[in-house]
Amino acid sequence: MNYTLIVLLTYAVVMFGVTVFMTKKENNIEKFCVGNRNTGWMVSALSIAATWIWAPALFTSTENAYTKGFAGLFWFLIPNVLCLILFIPFAKKIREEMPEGITLSGYMYGKYHSKAVRNTYLFQLGTLSALSTGVQLLAGSKILSMLTGIPFAAMTVIMAVIAFSYSQFSGIKASILTDAVQMVFMLAASIGFVAFGVKNGGGLETLVTSLGGAAGDAGSLFSKRGWEIFLGFGLPTTIGLISGPFGDQCFWQRAFCVKKDRIGRAFFVGALLFGIVPLSMGMLGFIGAGMGYIAADTGIINFELISTLFPAWAVIPFLFMIVSGLLSTMDSNLCAISSLTTDIFKEKTLGKTKFAMILLLAVGIAVANIPGLTVTHLFLMYGTLRAATLLPTIFTLKGMELKPQGIVVGIISALIIGLPVFGYGNMQGIAIYKTAGSLLTVILSGAVALAVSRKRGVRNG
């Protein structure tokens, strides 16, 4: 049997076994979505970190370090870590204001009693889950299909079935527990890869001298090349990443799950643990650049480096790490979409939540199979989508009174103006359009919400 299939089978058996033996099948819909609301901070931190390790964290970090040097890795890594830390006071606030809550859309409905606001948030959160699921399937299936010979489309289905198998058993409890197991393995594997790479790739001297990337011109944030990277990649990426947790139900859901007085600790430690993985993957990119390695496909250069420069057996833990990273985000997306059904249906049943999981996977598979799409394109696109609700959410949690019409018009304005501008720049590789689109998406939603609310006579608190 192909060793890649063995890795997949082992992953499925381990995760399903951990779920079945360490949790019980959940029949209560609230517990399926948020557990007992007293999850410990350490297991929550591991889950938060694993959930945030999606395809770009594993692949884009190495690609950026190799092609864009220190500047590329910096603008990917720092906002990724910082966003989870900046999220902490807002996670505490939503739990304080709605201790029995489940979703961000439910919180916004409770504040404004507007179905239009709720539905706008449901659209943003649901679309994000679909695109995020699509990018995990795209990235994982690309490598696994190549290694196994199984057609790409079939591999997307196999990955979807594995994620669903354990997620539907006990919901968020299964997701958090398997996330923790996955994260421990990813930390051990990523640190091991760097240690081996440094030892056998020319030592620390090679690592330090390769910070400029393969071209050798991106070792500084303030060089001409550094500024080009900031404007074309760093700024739109930072906007999308800082918005990340705020526009992602996965993290609001975990804010409702962890012990109330441990929310800050869970997210802070989770941010630091997360950072270890893309930093390690980025260091592999530096090592490859320093050794003069010529990548066949920079999008999967970490896999190329490990399969070429490391012992043959190293591919196995790497694949397990990749599968863990991708499916940890997928199972979190499944739990997120199941929780959103509590805002959609008056009669809440587990059957409906599990059907929503299946529907999400079907949409994700369809997205992954769109010809010509790349991981980086999807990552930047849904990163900008998250930014559409950033300011209305922050304004509300900070106590500012907005008018429901202002929130809806603001978010719609951001989506129909900012997102297309960004999308054009993203597809055409034009930095100024990507930056303008990102800024428009963030600013329009907040500015229009405030303008409409003031016009209607609402006072800011």
Band (359; pLDDT cuts 50, 70, 90): very high
What pLDDT band is residue 459 in, cutting at 50, 70 and 90? very low
Query: What would the pLDDT profile of 341-355 be if each residue is shown by its tens digit?
Result: 999 988 888 899 999
What is the rounded average pLDDT of the residues 157-164? 94
- Main-chain phi, psi angles of 215, to 5 degrees: -85, -15
Decide which of 311, 346, 373 is a domain's last residue. 373
- Residue 379, domain member (yes or no): no
CATH number, domain containing residue 208: 1.20.1730.10
Strand partners, 258: 39
Total tally of structural domains belonging to the chain: 2
% the chain with pLDDT above 90: 53
> Do 297 and 164 fall within a single domain?
yes
- 128 inside domain: yes
Q: What is the mean pLDDT of residues 105-128?
A: 95
Are 354 and 416 part of one and the same domain?
no
Number of C-beta neighbours around residue 332 at 10 A:
32
Band of pLDDT at residue 97, cut at 50, 70 and 90: very high
Query: Whole-model pTM?
Result: 0.89
Q: Look at residue 381 and tell me whether its pLDDT is greater than 90.
A: no
Using the predicted structure, report yes or no on whether residue 49 has a pLDDT greater than 70: yes
Q: Output the six-digit token pair for 237.
A: 């990426």
pLDDT of residue 360: 96
354 in the same domain as 304: yes
363 and 399, same domain (yes or no): no
Specify whether 340 is located in the same domain as 446. no
**pLDDT higher than 50, residue 461:** no
Q: Within this chain, do residues 301 and 169 fall inside the same structural domain, yes or no?
A: yes
Report whether 46 contacts 270 (CB < 8 A).
yes
One domain for residues 303 and 362: yes
Closest CA to 413 of 436, 434, 384, 442: 442
Residue 377 in this model has a pLDDT that exceeds 80: no
369 and 399 inside one domain: no
Could you tell me which of 214, 256, 268, 259 has the C-alpha nearest to residue 85?
A: 268
Q: What's the farthest any 2 CA atoms get from each other in the chain?
A: 69
Residues 445, 330 within the same domain = no
Residues 27 and 65 in one domain: yes
- Which residues does 202 contact at the CB level (< 8 Å), separation at least 6? 287, 290, 291
**Which alpha helices (H) appear in 149-262, and where do they start and end?**
152-170, 172-200, 203-209, 224-229, 235-243, 249-257
Mean pLDDT for 86-109 is 96
Classify residue 382: in a domain, yes or no.
no
Q: How confident is the model at residue 304 (pLDDT cuts 50, 70, 90)?
A: confident
Q: How much is the average pLDDT of 176-189?
A: 94
**pLDDT confidence bin for 460, thresholds 50/70/90:** very low
Q: Is 258 helix (H, G, I), strand (E, B) or coil?
A: strand
Asked if residue 383 belongs to a domain, the reply is: no
Span 243-277, pLDDT tens digits: 889 999 999 999 999 999 999 999 999 999 999 99
Q: Can you read off the two tokens belonging to residue 344?
A: 């959609």
Q: Enter the DSSP assignment of 231.
A: I
- In a shared domain, residues 362 and 394: no
Long-range contacts of 300-308 (CB under 8 A, 24+ apart): 300/59, 300/142, 300/143, 301/62, 301/63, 301/66, 302/58, 302/59, 302/62, 303/143, 305/62, 305/197, 306/193
Q: Is the pLDDT of residue 215 over 70?
A: no
**Does position 112 have pLDDT exceeding 70, yes or no?**
yes
pLDDT at 348 (0 to 100)? 84
Is the pLDDT at 214 greater than 70, yes or no?
no
* 415 inside domain: yes
Asked, for residue 380, whether it belongs to a domain, the answer is no
Query: Quick check: is 251 in a domain?
Result: yes
* Position 457 confidence tier, pLDDT thresholds 50, 70, 90: low
Alpha-carbon gap, residue 255 to 191, rounded angstroms: 28
Range scoring the smallest mean pLDDT among 280-289, 316-325, 418-427 = 418-427
Average pLDDT of the segment spanning 11-28: 90
Least confident of 16-30, 81-95, 446-460: 446-460
Residue 393 sits in the same domain as residue 342: no
Within a domain: residue 378? no
State the average pLDDT for the chain. Answer: 88
Which among 345, 373, 401 is the end of a domain? 373
Q: Which domain holds residue 447?
A: 388-461
End-to-end CA gap in the chain = 64
**Residue that is last in its domain, among 343, 373, 403:** 373
